[in-house]
Structure 1
Amino acid sequence: MSYERPYYNKRRNRDDFDNPRREVYETPEQKIRTAIIRLGEVDVLQEIPRVAKQIREQAEGSVPAISEGFRIGVTEEPYKIPYYAHLLRLLHDPPEGEAEASSSGGTSLGKQILEDFWKGFQAFLDKLSWRETRLCIHFFAHLTMAKVISVQSMFNLLQSFVAVLDEFGVSHGRAKRAGLCAAQGLMIAGKVLKEDSVTNVIDIINAIQIYIETTSAAKRLVQPIVHYHAESDTLENADELLETALAVLKTLNASDFAETANSYPQPYADLPGLPEGAAPFELPSVLVPPEIIELDGLAADTSEDAQVKKEEWPEYYIRLFDNEVTPDPVSPAGYAVRSALLDIVEIFEVNRKECARLLIEYPKWTLPGTFKPRPGTPAELQPEPAPGKNWQLESTLMEIVLGSLFVLPEATYKAIYYIGLITEICKLSPSTVGPAVGKSIRRLYASLADGLDVEVARRFAEWFAIHMSNFGFQWVWKEWVPDVSLTHQHPKRAFMRRAVEFEIRLAYFERIAKTLPEGLQAEGAHVLPEHAPGPDFEYDEPSNPYHNAAQSVLNLLKGRAKADDVLAHLETLKTTIGETAEGDVNVDSVIRSVAVQSLLNIGSRSFSHFLNAIERYLAVLRSLSTGGIDARTDILTAVSLFWKRNRQMISIVFDKLMQYQIVDPTDVVAWTFTNGVGNERGDTEGPSAINAHDWDLLKGALDKANGRVLVARKRVSALRKEEDDTRARVKASGGDVASMEVDAEAKPDEPPESAALTTAVKAFTSLTTQQKNALARALDGFIACLAPLSSDRRANPYAREVLTEKAWHNRANWTDDDWNAWETWGWYRHFCRAYSPYLRSYSTTLGTVSLKKFEGSTDPAALQIVKIWNVSIGEES
């Protein structure tokens, strides 16, 4: 039977394609699968019997489609899992009026569906699709509570994931995901598992605790609140994902899992047991596949062979509100709500609007009284507040989404997803979500001076600016006017400057200025820049001694003179300036500055003008950069002076100079530590420091070096594979199989590598050296800023003092130098954790060269540098 639209003649009208009301036919299998996926769109408890009846009526030959519907629902709509368990439990009963199931030789329909569902679960496990695997375990756990799955087989399944924690050298990411699979499965099915065996439950909890105890050092490096003087891993306003799961398990175990019914919906709880003679389903035994380690085959005896894998750290989620306002993550009910919301945020990353809608509607899938009723809900429809719950949905959503955005060292998805998601949530319910957003901003702002990590503070400023741009830049800035009296480098004042800078990028200077109160526009406030973003051509004023020389270069560039003519004119200028210069003037530096700033000036009208100018005069730039490190430093300095009013353009131009290989990433790193901003005032007398703008430059340079190595590695691998395949084909066509199986000594000499492969290997080697040099220069730069033993710069006493507990409690009296040192420590921590895979590859050489000077030192700054380094490369646990 055909379910496609019939055509009654060969001519098809345009209406066949353009009419939106034309009927679309679905096969019975598609209809039943859709019915399962859409379960609960109105009232889930009323729909379950109807859907169960529909499944029975169309079950013959449709079991794969039915089980597919369950798989999609379980893994993409996890908030429905308890109700899917209820539905499958009903399908285990025989049809009404029959003594026993007769769907297939006495096998119940529910069992058939579960057998096919297991095949999908095994596929998820084989591919190490951890989220889908964990959600399937949720489904099995609920079915165990519903007496559909045997208790012993459920324990064996959980034990398979617990075994991962004992693997030799297991990565934290693998152990964390496996531990969550076991922990969350035990939270749901723990009651029946403990009734069957107390020892089995204790074994699972102990195994998770033993693993967590081995991660204490790593946790300190990714905590969103920084206390250098504290050795404890416990934070009052941040929670680690696996650690909270362990706390919940202990709480549940103490009550014999009685609180599970108050944490997870159990709509199947009142159903009778399985029909007489029906045995529960036995889950097959499984083995969690090992991690896949890819090799590129470059040199089998070096640690750089393995493809660089992103280092996975403990996950900390920052908390903004009290337990009475948002779910307590260490309580069973609070953990259940938070984990469900996190799953929704992760699953629906592909559609932020749908994600926002589901988050707003999430209370319908929770137990009554979990959240406060929405404004306008009739009194007769409002459930009684549940003890220990009655949370605010909007504040909970803000805490969940912002917590995901602020995970260190980087969030799961791009920051723009979380920012856009908050915007969509606000659009759905502006009157209720708006106050929650304002409270979140105020809580984060207050924590800036209480140890908030510098990277979290940077993301906070970015989110704040983008969110304000989506809602007319409306914020109560006057609340922060008193903070202008704080020291210039105080984190709150730094945040205001950074946020306003981001806002100006998203709008324009005059509009943002109008949103600020007079107290923040005052000359001494240093919140609003003195000038609108734009170029600052140093040689534009006639009073400048090199004005005429710059104008002559500008005229050539505007006239699109050839690069050779420009270079010839620069040589002439060099002679002229050298003859007329007074005092000790570096003529070459002057020429480079004049040429680079003139080139940037003609490209300052737009980004396309800039790219055209750079590409047209690449030969000029390459010639200017041939004078060694000093020449490249002069080029970078000229760029920073020209765009000092628009620091975003400095990062952009530096990136293009690296792309066109005018300067190397190592040059940018070195320039940042020697000529970077250091502090917002531009002082040169205070101790050197790194701020957020400097970090943007460092990150751009390091990412460029690492990205080049990755591309080169892939090219070498591809060429080598292609060459090996070609040789194999040649050998195969030249003789039989036996002729290939001879001793290596008897084989003829292998043909030489192709020219393309040889070139690619040389490029890879060169780029690897460049990568190593950039990382080494960054490490040396941080040591020079922070360590008093450095010889290239004078000692920085503030870097030592801000580490002590006494100094931290006295931070209200810190000077600008203290806060500069504190921020530099923060960026050093972030450098080590963000680039730990690369640092680990070069740990032996970098550690020996840069950190050997600290052997035997008792200085707190030196010890802190070494400690952070050792944690990042995995040598301290």
Structure 2
Amino acid sequence: MSRRRVHDDDDGYDRAYRKRRRVSENQEIEDRLESLILRVGEKSTSSLESNLEGLASVLEADLATFRTKILRILTDCAIKMPEKCTIYTTLVGLLNAKNYNFGGEFVDYMVRNLKDSLKSCRWDAARYSLRFLADLVNCHVISAGSLMQLLDNMVDAAKEDGVPQVRKDWYVFAVLSTLPWVGRELYEKKEQSLEHLLISIEVFLGKRSKKHHGALRVWALDHPHPQEEYLDCLWAQIRKLRQDNWAEKHIPRPYLAFDSTLSEALQHNLPTILPPPHHDSYVYPMPHAVFRMFDYTDCPEGPLLPGAHSIERFLIEEHLHQIIEMHHLERKDCAAHLLNFPYKMKIPLDYCIVEVIFAELFNMPSPRYLEIMYGSVLIELCKLQPSTMPQVLAQATEILFMRIDTMNVSCFDRFVNWFAYHLSNFQFRWSWEDWDSCLQLDPEHPRPKFIREVLLKCLRLSYHQRIVDMMPPQFEPLIPAKPEPRFKYTMDGAGSLPETTTAHQLVVSIRQKCTPEEVLNVLKDLPNPCPEEDSESRFNPLKIDVFVQTLLNLGSKSFSHSFAALSKFHNVFKVLADSEAAQICILRNMFDLWQNHQQMMVVLIDKMLKTQIIECSAVANWIFSKEMTGEFTKMYLWEILHLTIRKMNKHVTRLARDLEEARENFPRSESDTDESDDGDGGEGGGNSSSRKRDEDASTALVDSMEEKLETAQGVQKTLFLIIFQRFIMILSEHLVRCDTDGKDFNTFWYKWTIGRLQQVFLLHNEQVQKYSSTLETLLFTQDLDPHILEVFHQFTSLRS
């Protein structure tokens, strides 16, 4: 028995070893197959056709063992590497010709993927799945008739009633953006059906509302390039493609080399695929305007830039956008892949890249990625292509500056931020003399304002004397003041103020490291200049004045010093600022001290919001107060407003997330309680009562979290109501005043202000959308001036 046992053990060891070795070998083969599939189409000593043929043979030999793995990899490649769509459809076509059953399984797999993507709102994945299925028609894997039925079903989704227009738009866009790949094949095999499909799309586009378009344009004017709505532009490109008999020059079609092999393969019919019905939780892609900066006259040397309505322009731009999406986290890789664009010899690549990057940067309502990403990629492009890219970028900057008069306010801000960042990376060198004509314009005109705001941003990235030295003498009026504090108690005439003595006492006390209680003791004898019967003025503005000015002046050496001062005397702020009016008084005194240092004001307010010295509503009311009228067209003020709104939004989002997590955990407590009820008495009863207490505690916790969330949402709603109400008031006053005086209302001030209103709607569209019905009922009523109401209607149409 002992011998048999030893023998059995050895046999078991061998079996385990063989199993481990087999698993290891299988893993190696899987990894090799995955590498071969992923890398097909990359640079190689062999031709693409021979690589595809060889890979198809290798995969076909391994189908019996690794069928599921191969299906998954090919499907992932179809969705995650759309720029190699035709390479993978050719590979699937060759596999289908060798193994009809595998072809059928792959089609079923892709159909499931398309359905899942539509249900889970993964719109790009769904569109790439549809494109892949369409291109399989070219490879004789799928029948043209069954694809035509799928496209018809998707266009039928645009005829549904009671659903948002953005849903209809997406389904039409998905079909139109697929046609360049398969249009020629459908034209040859299903001409009547294709024509009927296009007529249905044309009817839909003719009836479609485009109220949103005005809010999404970079420039208000269509000269020299129309800022077309995206579906209108793509439709014009598809019509041009139809006129050219569906012949395009950009899509590689490796399957043409295997036509004789592929045409003999049996085809599969797609099952009936119906778009899932709309659900209120579905979030669809928002519409956008197509950005145009260049045409063929701007790039006279080298290959011609395709026309705005050529399908090649759409295909090139989409491909460049995909490269940015894939490599946006690595600026060097992103720049290198953009410059290695496969068809760079056929197009003026530098111009196409710059136009696409600015299209992303200026995308409304917000860029896809951080603004600094686009700036850093442009810097890398200039380093990698120093002979041409800097000149193209300088030309683009010149074009943007010359057209800045009608630029969207949000895009103006992004242009300022990008240009200042770019200058800081190139030693602040620029041919400023070329722009000196703008010095004769109104200071509120976008051109001089752009230069002033750029210099203010450069000041944040450098120092004042550097800015003075880099500018020609004639630009002196636009150079920002030196960012120094203006401490009122050391300025001329301060000696006549009765509170000056207290301020100087406070300076001595703080330098001697006094406690918060001692600060309050120094301030206690200051009289209150406000009448006590005024309930809004119960606070003492003189105490706040002396304390805020003195403390922030002492902490003026750096941001860190200021933060330390706020932290140490946090209790004093809480005692003095016990109402919104008192908090506004704090902000006024901070402004009086730091009005020449915009960045300091931004970071101080951010810190005071974080430490709850001031509330969000106080910041909003301060921004719209009469004292800030002179600052109203300056960028930093709106930077402060947006950081305030974002702070509020993050707070609400965090509370909602915490509540959701608590609710997910709560059902587990209930199930545990149910199990405990099945036990006997005695010790089990003790456990039951203990679990009951836990359940009660959990319920109380969830109830408490719900209350906190409701309170926070109420505060958020109030904040938006304050902001929009104040916008309406100041804009309405301006319009009435201009009408009374017989003056043109469309002044620079009005353009900046209405643009800022639009910016608040767009930048915070997800949060504002929740309160749109309240806003429509209380503020944006039909009796409001049409110019203001139009901004609200543009916003509501974004997701309608």
The correspondence for 1:281, drawn from 268, 273, 279, is 268
Q: 2:562 aligns with which of 610, 624, 627?
A: 610
Question: 2:798 aligned with 1:869, yes or no?
Answer: no
Q: How does 1:75-90 map to 2 (within 5 A)?
A: 75-90=79-94
Counterpart CA distance in 1 for 2:515 and 2:671 is: 51
Mapping of residues 475-494 of structure 1, within 5 Å: 475-494=430-449
Is structure 2 residue 378 aligned with structure 1 residue 422? yes
Structure 2 unpaired stretches of 5+: 1-16, 300-304, 531-536, 680-694
* Per-residue Cα deviation, 1:70-92 (whole angstroms, up to 9, x for no partner): 33443333332223333333444
1:702 maps to which of 645, 664, 684: 645
CA contact (8 A) 2:165 2:799 kept: no
Q: In the alignment, is residue 770 of structure 1 matched against residue 715 of structure 2?
A: yes
Q: What is the SS of the residue equivalent to 1:820?
A: helix
CA contact (8 A) 1:164 1:288 kept: yes
Moved more, 329-338 or 268-277: 268-277
Q: Secondary structure at the match of 1:536?
A: coil
Match of 1:655 among 599, 606, 610: 606
Q: CA deviation at 1:238?
A: 2.2
Q: How does 1:219-368 map to 2 (within 5 A)?
A: 219-226=213-220, 236-257=225-246, 259-260=247-248, 262-274=249-261, 278-290=265-277, 293=280, 313-323=286-296, 325=299, 326-362=305-341, 364=342, 366=343
Alignment correspondent of 2:54: 53
Counterpart residue type for residue 197 of structure 1: K
Mapped partners of 2:581, 2:28: distance in 1: 73
The 3-state SS of whatever aligns with 2:255 is: coil
Deviation at 1:140, TM superposition (A): 2.6
Residues 1:348 and 1:770: Cα distance change in structure 2 (over 3 Å): same
Aligned to 1:32: 33
Aligned counterpart in structure 1 of residue 400 of structure 2, from 444, 448, 469: 444
Question: How far is the alpha carbon of 1:438 from its aligned partner?
Answer: 0.5
Letter in 1 for 2:416: A
Deviation at residue 549 of structure 1 after TM alignment = 1.9
* CA distance 1:447–1:830, change in 2 (3 Å): same
**Does the 8 Å CA contact 1:448/1:457 hold for their aligned counterparts?**
yes
Shift of 1:609: 2.6
Inter-CA distance 148–756: structure 2 relative to 1 (3 Å threshold) = closer
CA distance, structure 1, for counterparts of residue 44 and residue 88 of structure 2: 14
User: In the alignment, which residue of structure 2 is the partner of 1:509?
Assistant: 464
SS of 1:699's equivalent? Answer: helix
Paired letter, 1:823: W
Structure 1 counterpart of 2:751, from 822, 827, 830: 822
**CA distance 1:242–1:80, shift in 2 (3 Å):** same
Separation in 2 of the partners of 1:547 and 1:773? Answer: 39
TM-score (norm 2): 0.85
Distance 1:154 1:795, change over 3 A: same
- Conserved? CA contact 2:622–2:628, under 8 Å: no
CA contact (8 A) 1:40 1:47 kept: yes
**Closer, same or farther in 2 for the Cα pair 1:49/1:122, shift >3 Å?**
farther
- Given the superposition, is the C-alpha separation of residues 271 and 722 from structure 1 closer, same or farther in structure 2, using an over 3 Å criterion? closer
Q: Match for residue 692 of structure 1? A: 635
Tell me the SS of whatever aligns to 1:239.
coil
Q: CA deviation at 1:51?
A: 4.2
Contact kept in structure 2, 1:596 and 1:635, CA below 8 Å: yes
Change (3 A) 1:538 1:42: same
Q: 1:766 Cα deviation (Å)?
A: 2.5
User: Which is worse superposed, 143-152 or 613-622?
Assistant: 143-152
* Paired residue secondary structure (2:267): coil
From 554, 559, 571, the counterpart of 1:619:
571
The code of the aligned residue for 1:774 comes to: L
* Structure 1 residue 211 displacement after superposition: 4.6
| In 2: Cα distance, 1:540 partner to 1:653 partner | 22
**8 A Cα contact 1:669 1:697, kept in partner:** no
Whether contact under 8 Å (2:216, 2:364) holds in the other structure is yes
1:271 and 1:727, CA in 2 relative to 1: closer, same or farther beyond 3 A?
closer
2:754 is paired with a residue whose SS is helix
Aligned partner of 1:538 among 488, 493, 518: 488
Contact residue 170 and residue 284 of structure 2 kept, 8 A: no
> For residue 143 of structure 1, what is the amino acid of its counterpart?
L
Q: CA deviation at 1:223?
A: 1.6
Q: Does the 8 Å contact 1:179/1:208 carry over to 2?
A: yes
CA distance in 2, matches of 1:876, 1:109: 41
TM superposition shift of 1:434: 0.8
Q: Gaps spanning 5+ residues in structure 1: where?
A: 7-23, 94-100, 228-232, 295-308, 374-389, 579-584, 681-688, 737-749, 808-817
The one-letter code of the counterpart of 1:319 is R
Query: What are the within-5 Å matches in structure 2 for residues 133-152 of structure 1?
Result: 133-152=126-145
Read off the aligned partner of 2:314 and give its amino acid letter: Y
Deviations 1:505-539 (A, max 9, x none): 1122222332222221x3xx2x21131x2433232
Look up the match of 2:367: 411
Q: State how far apart, in whole Å, the 2-side matches of 1:780 and 1:571 are.
A: 38
Pair 1:795-2:737 in alignment: yes
Q: Cα 1:130–1:321, aligned 2, differ >3 Å: closer, same or farther? A: same
Q: Deviations over 1:696-753 (max 9, x none)?
A: 22212222222222223333334444445434542454369xxxxxxxxxxxxx9698
Matched, 1:674 2:625: yes
Q: What's the % identity of the aligned pairs?
A: 22
- Do the aligned partners of 1:776 and 1:846 also contact (CA within 8 Å) in 2? yes
* Residue 548 (structure 1) aligned to one of 501, 513, 533: 501
3-state DSSP of counterpart to 2:228: strand
Aligned pair partner of 1:71 in 58, 71, 75: 75
Change (3 A) 1:41 1:240: same
CA contact (8 A) 2:250 2:312 kept: yes
Distance 1:802 1:141, change over 3 A: farther
Question: Could you tell me whether the CA contact under 8 Å between 2:95 and 2:103 is conserved in 1?
Answer: yes
Q: Is the 8 A contact 1:785 1:796 kept in 2?
A: no
Does the 8 A contact of 2:338 with 2:353 survive in 1? yes
Shift of 1:785: 1.9
Do 1:150 and 1:280's aligned partners in 2 also have CA atoms closer than 8 Å? yes
The change in CA–CA distance for 1:31 and 1:837 in structure 2 (over 3 A counts) is closer
1:205-220 correspondence to structure 2 within 5 Å:
205-212=198-205, 213-220=207-214
Give the Cα–Cα distance (whole angstroms) in 1 for the partners of residues 18 and 469 of structure 2.
Answer: 66
Deviations along 1:263-295, whole A, 9 cap, x unmatched?
Answer: 42223234334568631133333344456655x
Q: For residues 392 and 825 of structure 1, what CA distance do their matches in structure 2 show?
A: 38
SS of residue matched to 1:62: helix
Distance in 2, matches of 1:721 and 1:91, equals 46
The equivalent of 1:783 in structure 2 is 728
Q: Which amino acid letter does the alignment assign opposite residue 349 of structure 1?
A: H
Shift of 1:486: 0.9
The aligned residue for residue 302 of structure 2 is none
1:569 correspondence with 2:522: yes
Equivalent residues of 1:82, 1:265 under 8 A apart: yes
Q: Which moved more, 1:118-127 or 1:456-465?
A: 118-127
Give, in angstroms, the shift of residue 421 of structure 1: 1.9
Q: Separation in 1 of the partners of 2:333 and 2:752?
A: 39
Q: Shift of the alpha carbon at 1:247?
A: 1.4
Distance 1:757 1:53, change over 3 A: closer
| 3-state SS in 2 of match to 1:238 | coil
Q: Does 1:734 align with 2:687?
A: no
Residue 7 of structure 2 corresponds to which residue in structure 1?
Answer: none
Q: Distance in 1 between matches of 2:27 and 2:504?
A: 73
Shift of 1:252: 2.4
CA 666–802 in structure 1, closer or farther in 2 if over 3 Å, else same:
farther
Could you report, residue by residue, the CA deviation over 1:475-527 in whole angstroms, capped at 9, with x for unpaired residues? 2111111211111111001110111111111122222332222221x3xx2x2
Q: Deviations over 1:8-67 (max 9, x none)?
A: xxxxxxxxxxxxxxxx99823222321222223325970331343144135322344444
Structure 1 position 559, deviation (Å)? 3.0
Partners in 2 of 1:758 and 1:574 — Cα distance?
A: 46
